[in-house]
Structure 1
Amino acid sequence: MTRRGILAVDEGSTGTRATVVGEDGVCGPSFYTAVDVVHPESSRVEQDAAQLLERTVDVARQAIAWAGENGVAIAGMSVCTQRATAILWDRETGRPLAPAVVWQDSRYADELAKLAPEWDPVLWARTGRPVGTRAPFLWAARQLDQLDVPADRVLFGSVDTWLVWHLSGRTRYVMSATNAVAFGGYRLREHAWDQEWLAALGFPASLAPPPVDDDGDFGYTDPKLLGIEVPIAAVMGDQHASLIALGALTPGQGTCVHGTGTFVGALAGDEPPDGLGEVDGVLCLVGWRSAGHSRFSLEAYTSTTGSALRWLTEDLGLFRSAAEISELAAAQPRSTSTWFVPTLAGLRTPVQRPGARGLLTGLSLATTRDAVARAVLDGIAHAVSDTVDALRTTMNRPVTRLRAGGGLAASDVLLQSQADFAGVEIERAADSATASLRGAAYLAGVRLGVWPSLVEAVAHQGKGEVFEPRLPEDERRELRDRWQDVLAVSLS
């Protein structure tokens, strides 16, 4: 019997994946290819948009071929993408007019800092985020002055705008709400661009692609590109898709995705919280938007978690692997004298300090490698718990559960420490590696009738191991207070 499935594509910062998510909620094999990232200068991060499209089409065709060979009828397509990467291209040729500027790019950070005193209060209230260190609209405004192409031929957008325009046979020029909110300048309550902010950056508002629902009208796939014609039924930012797949569907439920850094997100509800801007580094986003209705989420980021372990293992050679760090830490009781503060690339939360540096303190001749390993994982757990506390404070409601995924989530020691320090149950997701693929596919599948609701789509995934807080509240508070003292020393 033929089964239905959703062709799911995830175009990330370093690679592109595609799979088919079946009616049972399970992914078929994942087809992957790397994409290049270029650093012409220390503050510049760029990609070739033509390569992004080519490799996205390539992995999608592989997934389509697998579906045909295995009796899966593709009902529609979903796309999730890296967020806030900006592209300019020629409407007539379809070719990029400049290298794509990746979300890590900070070439205009100093210039934007001068705008922050005036604009931060305005943008916090309207868009749920401050000026920040990147502005795709500012980059585009500067590029427009240099292009040797008539203005009516220029198109501009994020990765999802670029991909959908091509995948739909050049018929749909839009940006999904979850990508728009990460772009900056998106008014949360109005679902529209902030005309005053775009004008302040010198960007013509007429060139901004219209924001649409994440399961809105993205047209149909061009059979000349993919060999099939099906609706592009959902398009999302990658972290937002993970929020759905990891089951954060009720306010207070959240996710913790460990990669190079760690994203902690939580569903906030049907309105943006009142406390935006009170804690550094907590952004308000559209968790997802469907049927003209936005579900808002909060997000905070710890920049040095997985990269801290890579630094300790690959750069310093103090340990053989992240797995060894976890193994050594498991044999060592928690210490109140040896501490590691993983601010190796600055600090965002609870205070914004780009120049903050890491700290390993409380060492003596009796300090062992086991003790250092334990301090490293506990330090990461404390830093991530700071973001959980920040979300809790901002949305003025408890975080009731976190589902964790990503490489570091393999460490029992880390997840138990996170549960202890944050005072919240943490579940290791059974299949976090495909969360972004599945989340966007679930939204597409609900629109197309593959699943009756997101709740039922998410219910297909198995339950993972649960880590309950073990520390009494007074001990938890004492350790968290001591952590704040150590953190203050590193900031000084």
Structure 2
Amino acid sequence: CAHDVINQAGLLATDVSSIAITNQRESIVIWDKQTGKPLAPAIIWQDRRTASYCQALAAKNLMIGAQGSNGSSNNSSQGDMASEVQRITGLRLDPYFSASKIAWLLEHNPKLSVRASKGEIAVGTIDSWLIYKLTGGEHVIDVTNASRTLLYDIHKLAWSEELCARFGIPMNILPKVLPSDGDFGKTKKGLFAKQIPIHSVLGDQQAALFGQGCLEAGMAKNTYGTGCFMLMNIGQKPLLSEHKLLTTIAWQRKSAPTRPDNLSFEQIVQSGRRMLQPPSREVTYALEGSVFMAGAIVQWLRDNLGMFQKSGEVEDLARQVDSSEEVVLLPAFTGLGAPYWRSDISASITGMSRGTTKAHIARAALEAVAYQTYDVLIAMQKDSPHPLTELRVDGGAANNDLLMQFQADLLGVPVLRPKDTEITAKGAALLAGLKTGLYDDATMQASWQVDRVFEPSMSIDIRAQHLNKWQQAISRALMVP
């Protein structure tokens, strides 16, 4: 596959200065440390088999130590597992993340558990597995992927002994954690014409945030794919959400330069100045909210209801009517994600009349994506001291002009769509370029180009009517016992 990419680019392996990796987060692989042979099928991030396990853990009360100012533990107190997990990792106790998946594999395979206790096996997220195979033996992980395992202390920047013990996971099977632009090793001899260093690894959503140029606190992006993934840069201090969002590590740059004279990145770009200060190892954090159903709603309309042949046709169908009228599509096919986190709610279409057409339903489907995004971003603004002044978007559904305009109207801020909406791989590549010195931060910022800006144009009264319609539908759903 890598050889094909190099050939398609008209290059030779000797032309490649660095490899960048971006990957689906939370998915895990377990393998033999000596042979590199996988010891069980991978468990992907969507897998919910450990839901009851997580619920049982969440119900437990624990004796926990309060965190001192120096990071030490003191003054034991009664607490619950879910709160302790959030305090340490910034995440929710949920099967979405890696820890319960690893615990399940060890619990359901006694031989694996014995071998794990002896340090004979290795476990990692997809980036770890790829690096191991490319290098022929390096067992490492980048900090953004580590922060999604439910085992990593985002304050101490280390694996949590406490959480590893709670989940029954030996620490000696976990990979070494490196900065996002760390030295992850070189490709093994014979794989390419030369050994190529791996200089950049980022989880997919963090890569999109970086690729969107969201380098300042308060800048946010939304990736519109099967679901929606919103991340907001909150700077160098972890901020635990009070509105059911996640706190995650956006990136850590080993080679990160600091800004001269406290200039903004925009001012640096305009002045052409370069970053001359010594490198910083500071971590950048982000708030994150996930919406389970976005493009998947359109797929449902296509595959289950047969409303159109191709997903791209949904916009033309929705434009056949000026409004969805009273129709609201609540896309809780797998429950509701952030900021509600209700797995017991079912999907529904309400507000229909005899005059309702498939065009109304198609328009309501697109509006549902924007409504869910609105809910998450409002929660982010409540958590963050930084106001949202614009939203940068990417992913396949970001090419839907009707959706993007409605999104801007709901949020009341501009929605910026770059020329390159498949930004995830670009984000990881940009970080590798920065590490190797091909360009600096100013050059990277200047490379981000806008395709179109969607300015809010809806009146305050009409906007309020739309939001009230959605909030009523949510309120009815949340009342389900």
Partner of 2:29: 87
Q: What letter is aligned with 1:443?
A: L
Residue ranges of structure 1 left out of the alignment (5+ in a row): 1-58
CA drift of 1:72 comes to: 8.0
Q: Give the CA deviation at 1:132.
A: 0.7
Partners of 1:268 and 1:473 in 2: CA distance? 29
**Residue 260 of structure 2 is aligned to residue 285 of structure 1:** no
Structure 1 residues 398 and 475: CA distance shift in structure 2, 3 A: farther
Structure 1 CA distance for aligned equivalents of residues 237 and 191 of structure 2: 40
Partner of 2:103: 138
Structure 1 residues 90 and 369, CA gap change in structure 2 (3 angstroms): closer
Q: Which runs of structure 2 are paired with 1:132-281 in the superposition (5 Å)?
A: 132-134=94-96, 135-142=100-107, 145-147=110-112, 151-170=118-137, 172-274=138-240, 276=241, 278-280=242-244
Unaligned runs of 5+ residues in structure 2 are: 60-79, 255-280
Hey, what does 2:288 align to over in structure 1? 299
1:446 to 424, 430, 434: 434
C-alpha displacement of 1:76: 1.0
**1:486 and 2:473 are equivalent in the alignment:** yes
Deviation per residue, 1:170-213 (Å, 9 max, x gap)? 1x221100110111121111111111111011111222212110
Match for 2:417 among 395, 407, 428? 428
Q: Secondary structure at the match of 2:17?
A: strand
Q: How many angstroms apart in 1 are the aligned matches of 2:40 and 2:399?
A: 40
The residue correspondences of 1:310-349 to structure 2 (distance < 5 A) are 310-349=299-338
Structure 1 368/184 Cα, relative in aligned 2: closer, same or farther at 3 Å?
A: same
1:463 alignment partner, one of 429, 438, 450 = 450
Give the secondary-structure state (helix, strand or coil) at the position aligned to 1:65: helix
Cα distance in 2 for partners of 1:479, 1:66 equals: 47
Q: What amino acid is the match of 1:141?
A: L
In the other structure, the counterpart of 2:52 is 110
Between 1:218-227 and 1:307-316, the stretch displaced more is: 218-227
RMSD over aligned Cα atoms: 2.0
Deviations 1:201-253 (A, max 9, x none): 11112222121101112111223223321221111111111111122111111
Partner of 2:267: none
Conservation of the 8 A alpha-carbon contact between 2:13 and 2:194? no
> Residues 13 and 192 of structure 2 are in contact (CA less than 8 Å); yes or no, is this contact kept in structure 1?
no
Contact 2:374–2:411 (Cα < 8 Å) also in 1: yes
Q: Give yes or no for the alignment of 1:121 onto 2:118.
A: no
Q: Structure 2 vs 1, CA of residues 67 and 223 (structure 1 numbering), >3 Å: closer, same or farther?
A: farther
* Secondary structure of 2:450 counterpart: coil
- 1:158, CA displacement in angstroms? 1.3
Q: Report Cα offsets for 1:384-408 as digits up to 9, x if no partner.
A: 2111112222223222222212221
Aligned identity (percent) is 31
CA distance in 2, matches of 1:324, 1:452: 41
Q: The residue matched to 1:459 in structure 2 has which SS?
A: helix
State the TM-score, normalized to the length of structure 1. Answer: 0.82
Alpha-carbon offset, residue 472 of structure 1: 3.4
Q: Any idea what SS the aligned residue of 1:100 has?
A: coil
Residue 91 of structure 1 deviates from its aligned partner by: 1.8
Contact 1:67 1:74 in 2 (8 A): no
1:370 is displaced (CA, Å) by: 2.6
1:144: how far off?
6.2
The Cα of 1:68 is off from its aligned counterpart by 5.7
Counterpart-to-counterpart distance in 2, 1:143 and 1:335: 49
Q: State the number of aligned residues.
A: 428
Q: Is residue 357 of structure 2 the alignment partner of residue 368 of structure 1? A: yes
**Cα distance in 2, alignment partners of residues 315 and 259 from structure 1:** 19
1 CA distance for matches of 2:369 and 2:13?
45
The C-alpha deviation readout for 1:154-181, integer Å capped at 9, x for no partner, is: 11111111211222231x2211001101
Q: Distance in 2 between matches of 1:257 and 1:338?
A: 25
Of 74, 83, 86 in structure 1, the residue corresponding to residue 16 of structure 2 is 74
